Structure 1
Amino acid sequence: MSRRLEGQEWLTAPATRAVMEALAVAGGPDCARFVGGCVRNALIGAPIDDVDIATVLRPEAVVEALKAAGLRSVPTGIEHGTVTAISDREPFEITTLRRDVSTDGRRATVAFTDDWAEDAGRRDFRLNALYADAQGVILDPTGRGYDDALAGRIVFVGEAEQRIREDYLRILRFYRFHAWYGRGAPDAEAVAACAALAEGVGRLSAERVSKELLKLLAAPDPRPAVRLMDQAGVLAQTIPQPESLFLFEVMVERSADPVLRLSALLPDDPTAVNEAARALRLSNAQRDRLVAATTTKAKTDMSDREARAALYRDGVQAFSDRVMRAWAAGGDPAEGQRLLALAEGWERPALPVGGRDLARLGVKPGPETGRLLKAFEEGWIADDFPTDGHEARLRALAAPHG
C-alpha cells in the first residue's frame, strides 16, 4: 500500500514546486526529498512550521541549480551541507545527505553521501527519519518511523546511547519530542540512556540548552516530560534543582507561556534566578522578566486600588507574572482572574505634573525638584491616581520653598 501525504497545500504550493523542480533539473527526479518535521507533522496532522529538503546534490550544485532557476540562495551552513533557498519569499532549508565521520558529544564532523539509508542512520529519532518525494510518497528507511509517528513513540534510531554520545543535546530533544508528540509510556531504552548520560548535558553550550528547554516548556502539556527529566537527573543539569514540581504542575494549567512555566521551576530567590538565567544565556528580556517575577511575592487578595499601585510601579508583565505565581501557589482562583483582568485593561497614567509646574511655584531647578516630584508621585499613587487637585497638592509640598 502506498503511503502518501494527502491534502498538503505546502507540498503543491508554487514556491515549493519551484525549489523541487530546480533541484530535479540538476540531479534528476529522485535527487531531492522532503525530510523530518514537515513529513512527520503532515502525517499526524500537526501544524507545519518549516519545509526542509534533503538531497544527493552537493551544496555547490544546489546553489547553481537555484541560480539557474532564478531562485536566491543563502549559504546558512554550507560547510555542513546546508543551503537555504528563497522561493516566493519563503525559506526552504536544503541539506546534502550526510554521514558522521566523528563526533564528540557536541558537534559532528560529517562527510557527504548519496546513500539515503546512511543519512537516515545519523538522525535522532525514527519518526524524524521520514522522507517524502515531490509527489508526497513517504519513504521510511528505518522501517519504523511511519508507525512511530502514528503511535506517538519517540524511539532513537539504532542504539539510544550511541545516538546520545554523538550529541548530548539529543537527551533534551528526547524529552521535548515526548512532550510534543509522545503518547503512552516512554521508550524504556531511551529513558535509561538519558538517565545514564545525563551529565553530558553539562557539556553543551548554554544557548543550545535554553533553546531546547523553552521549546519543551511550550508544549501543550510538558508535565510528564519534565517529571521524567527530574527523575533522570536531567532537570538538575539545566536549572537549579527545584524542591518540588508542585508550582510548575499547577502553572502549566494556568498558562501556556514557556517563560512563565520556567519561572515556576525556579526558586523565589532573585539572586538564584538571575544566576540561572545567566547560566542559560537567556536574553536580557527573558532574564529580567524571570527576576522580576520572583522579586516580590504577589497576593491574590489585594484590592483594585492596591493592584493599580502595583501595576504602576511594576508594569503589566511583572505584575501579571507575580499574580500567576501566587495563583498557582494556592491563591484564590476568582481573585487571580480578577487581578489579571484588571491588568489586561490597564493603561499607565502619566504623571500629571512636572518641573515647570514647580518652577512656577518658585522652586529652582535642581535636586530638590526631583525630590518634590517623587513625593508628589507617591501621594498621587496612594490616593489612587486622582485626576484633579494637583496644583493644591504641589503647592503644599513646595510651600517651604516659596
Structure 2
Amino acid sequence: MTASVQGQPWLEATATRAVMAALEAAGGADCARFVGGCVRNSLMGRAVDDIDIATRLTPEQTMAALKAAGLKAVPTGVEHGTVTAVSERAPYEITTLRRDVETDGRRAVVAFTQDWAEDAARRDFRLNALYADATGVVFDPTGGGLADAAEGRIVFVGEAETRIREDYLRILRFFRFQAWYGRGAPDATGLAACAALKSGMARLSAERVSKELLKLLAAPDPVASVRAMERTGVLSQVLPEVRPLAMFEALSRRSGDPVLRLSALLPGDETAVRRIAEGLRLSNAVRDRLAAAVAEGPAVRPDMGAAEARAAIYRLGRRAFEDRLARAEAAEGSDGGPLRRLAEDWTPPRLPVGGRDLARLGLQPGPDTGRILKAFEEGWVADDFPTDGHEARLKALIGG
C-alpha cells in the first residue's frame, strides 16, 4: 500500500519547508522525515495541530543545522534526542532516531540510531509509526500502519505486552486512541494485553495518568472506550471509586467537556471527590470544580423556576450551577435548556447594601452588622433581587 500527504497545508508551508531544508542541507535528502500525528491525521482527514520530525542527525547536529539556516533552536530534551525548531514563530519538534536500551515501565534509556525501522519499532501503535518525507511520500516501516489508519484500527507495534511493559501509560493511550481514531471493536490482542498488565499502571505518576485520562474524555464520543476500560478492569485501576456508567454515558451525549464527563464517573460526595482529585494531582481549579458539582448547597433541577434558578446561580456561581444542571439533566433524562440560557445571560447583582448603610441608620459597628447583612441578603435573594426598598428592609431588621 502506498500513500502520500502531498498538498497538505502544513507540508507546503514556507515555515515547514525552511526547517526541512535546514536539516537536509546538513544531512542529505533522507536525513529527516515527518512522523506521527501530522502524518496519521493527514491520512485520516483530521486536523493537524503539531508537526513532529524524526532525523538521523544527532541533537547537536540538528541544533547546528538550524542555527546555520538562521532558525531558532531550543534544546527541549537533548538527553532524549529532542530539539525544538522555531520557524516563523511555529514550533517543530525534531527528535533523533532512537532505539530503546532499557525500560522500567515509566521511562526509557535510549541510544541514537540511523535505522528508520528501529525508530518505528519503539513506537506505540502502528498508525503512529508512519513517516513522510519532505515531498509527502509516506513510509510504513511496520507494514500495518497505513491499513490501520485507513480502517480505524489501533494496533500495537510488535508484541502488545512488550510495548506496554516499556511504558504502562500505553494502556491508557490504547483506549484514548481508540476513542479518537478507532472504528469498531478494539483490537482483541491489545485489549487482552491491557487487561493482563493493568496493575503496572500503579508505577505511573498521577500527573501522567490524569493528563491522559482527560485527553481520552475529550474525544467526541468516549463512551465505547470507557466501557471497554470498565470491562477489562482498567477503569477501576485508574478510578477505584468509579460509579456505574449510566450517568457518564447520558452526560457524554449532552456535553463534550472532559472535566464534566469525569465528574460523572466520580462519587456524589464532595470529600471523596476532593480525595480522588488530589490523588490524581489535578489542578486546583479542576479539583474545586469537581467538588463544587457535588457539594452541599442549592439543589439544581431542570424544571426549577427562573427565580429559584437565579438564587442558585447567585449562591453557587455560574460554572457550578451549569455543572449541576448538566448532571441533573443526565440523571433525569430531561432538558434544562431555558435554565442554561438564563445562566448565560443573567449576571448576578452585587449585594446592594453594606456596613455604611447600617451605620447611617444608627447601628453601631459590631457583631450585629454581619447578622443583619446576612438576614438582608437572605430576604433579598428570596424575593428575587429587588432593586428598591432596601432602606425599609434594613430598618425593619434593625428594629427586629
SS at match of 2:348: coil
Partner of 2:11: 11
Greater shift in the superposed pair: 4-13 or 192-201: 4-13
Matched, 1:252 2:258: no
Instruction: Map Cα deviations across residues 356-385 of structure 1 (whole Å, 9 max, x no partner).
Output: 211211223343322222221111101100
Indicate yes or no: 2:106 matched with 1:106. yes
Asked if the contact 2:300/2:309 (under 8 Å) is kept, the reply is no
Partner of 2:332: 330
Alignment of 1:29-178 (within 5 A): 29-178=29-178
Alignment partners' CA distance in 1, 2:261 and 2:243: 15
Conserved 8 A contact 2:243-2:266: no
User: 4+ residue stretches of structure 1 with deviation over 6 A?
Assistant: none
- Contact between 1:103 and 1:109, CA under 8 Å: does it hold in 2? yes
Q: d(CA) in 2 for partners of 1:92 and 1:197?
A: 34
The residue number in structure 2 matching 1:265 is 265
Q: Does the CA contact (< 8 Å) of 2:86 and 2:92 recur in 1?
A: yes
Cα distance, 1:398 vs structure 2? 2.5
Q: Is the 8 A contact 1:240 1:276 kept in 2?
A: no
State the distance in 1 between where 2:243 and 2:265 align.
Answer: 9
SS of the counterpart of 2:266? Answer: coil
Alpha-carbon displacement from aligned partner over 1:25-76 (angstroms, at most 9, x marks no partner): 1111211110000000001100111000100111111111111111112211
Alignment of 1:368-383 (within 5 A): 368-383=368-383
Contact 1:15 1:87 (8 Å CA) reproduced:
yes
SS of 1:329's equivalent in the other structure is helix
8 A contact 1:316–1:346 mirrored in 2: no
Instruction: Kindly report the root-mean-square deviation, in angstroms, between the aligned alpha carbons of the 2 structures.
Output: 1.2
**Residue identity opposite 2:291 in structure 1:** V
Identity value in percent? 70
2-structure distance, mates of 1:315, 1:292: 9
State how 1:188-227 maps to structure 2 within 5 Å: 188-227=188-227
Gaps in structure 1 of 5+ consecutive residues: none
Aligned-partner residue type, residue 105 of structure 1: G
Is the Cα–Cα contact under 8 Å of residues 229 and 235 in structure 1 kept in the other structure?
A: yes
Q: Which whole-Å CA distance do the structure 1 matches of 2:68 and 2:231 have between them?
A: 54
Task: Write the distance in 2 (CA, Å) between the matches of 1:75 and 1:355.
Answer: 58
Match of 1:316 in 2: 318
Alignment check: 8 A CA contact 2:241 2:267 kept = no
- Aligned residues of 1:116 and 1:141 also touching (Cα < 8 A): yes
Secondary structure of 1:294's aligned partner: coil
Secondary structure in structure 1 of the residue aligned to 2:347: coil
| Structure-1 separation of matches of 2:32 and 2:90 | 18
Measure how far apart 1:2 and its partner are: 4.9
TM-score by length of 2: 0.97
Which one-letter code corresponds to 2:325 in the other structure?
V
Alpha-carbon deviation of 1:331? 4.6
Q: What is the match of residue 287 of structure 1?
A: 287
Q: TM-score, normalised by structure 1?
A: 0.97
Q: Which runs of 5+ in 2 are unaligned?
A: none
Aligned residues: 398
| Deviation sequence 1:234-256 (CA, Å, 0-9, x none) | 00111134341100010111100
The answer to whether the 8 A contact 1:43-1:149 is kept is: yes
Contact 1:309–1:381 (CA<8 Å) still a contact in 2?
A: yes
| 1:77 counterpart letter in structure 2 | G
One-letter code aligned to 1:281? R
Match of 2:309 in 1: 307
Helix, strand or coil for the counterpart of 1:95? strand
Q: 1:142-200 deviations in whole A, cap 9, x for unaligned?
A: 11101100100100000000000000000000000000000112111101000000111
Name the structure 1 match of 2:20: 20
Q: Is the 8 A contact 1:50 1:92 kept in 2?
A: yes
Distance in structure 2 (CA, Å) of the matches to 1:190 and 1:153: 11
What is the rounded CA distance, in whole Å, between the counterparts of 1:269 and 1:298 in structure 2?
Answer: 16
Write the distance in 2 (CA, Å) between the matches of 1:348 and 1:243.
Answer: 34
